Amino acid sequence: MAEKWVLIVTAQTPTNIAVIKYWGKRDENLILPINDSISVTLDPQHLCTTTSVAVSPAFTHDRMWLNGKEISLSGGRYQNCLRELRARASDVEDEEKGIKITKKDWEKLHVHIASYNNFPTAAGLASSAAGFACLVFSLAKLMNVKEDHSKLSAIARQGSGSACRSLYGGFVKWIMGKEENGSDSIAVQLADEKHWDESCDYHCRC
């Protein structure tokens, strides 16, 4: 790998509001619910998180800034998401910039994450849902993770339960699942944002 380069990806995800809530967890660490839930995804122009993620051989450790303030990534929820994504990372090559990253390189490379909410954080507006969904979605793009949205939702769920539903637009169901490892506790889209005429355009953008 070249020694002086930075690769950056920016993504945006909206928040969501549950219309049928989940009422508890059967596993606190993996965030596995005891019932299914359904939500509606909100308009990203009004309520969304924008996250830029960068990787460089010059970075000495993983770092994250939320709304301009650095926060710790030592918590289990962040570490679970980072571990799952690194395990699924693929080769990345940018010939124009002279960048070539192999799957094995991701084990030792570090990332910097800058996330911004366009609405109040920790104010009952599901900022953690949009935040972890955007974290997972942007890092998956950066690391060339070849998983569909349902598989990514299982990773986002480990950061914040409702984050799994923010990877889709429209109306979304979080399936509680039955497997102990949570592999079947995923989100699926029930209807897209055009299901009703008054619905807006809700989706993850990169």
CATH number at residue 15: 3.30.230.10
> Does 41 map to a domain?
yes
pTM of the entire structure?
A: 0.90
Dihedral-angle region of residue 122 (phi above 0 means left; psi in -120 to 50 means alpha; beta otherwise): left
> Does 203 map to a domain?
no
CA angle 157, 109, 3 (to 5 degrees): 150
Domain that holds residue 22: 7-191
Indicate the number of domains in the chain: 1
First-last CA distance in the chain? 25
> Does 123 map to a domain?
yes
Q: What is the pLDDT along the chain (206 residues), one digit of tens a residue?
A: 447 899 999 999 999 999 999 999 999 999 999 999 999 999 888 889 999 999 999 999 999 999 999 999 999 999 999 999 999 999 999 998 899 999 999 999 999 999 999 887 665 556 899 999 999 999 999 999 999 999 999 999 999 999 999 999 999 999 999 999 999 999 999 998 877 665 454 555 54
Distances, alpha carbon 150 to alpha carbons 175, 190, 197, in Å: 10, 12, 26
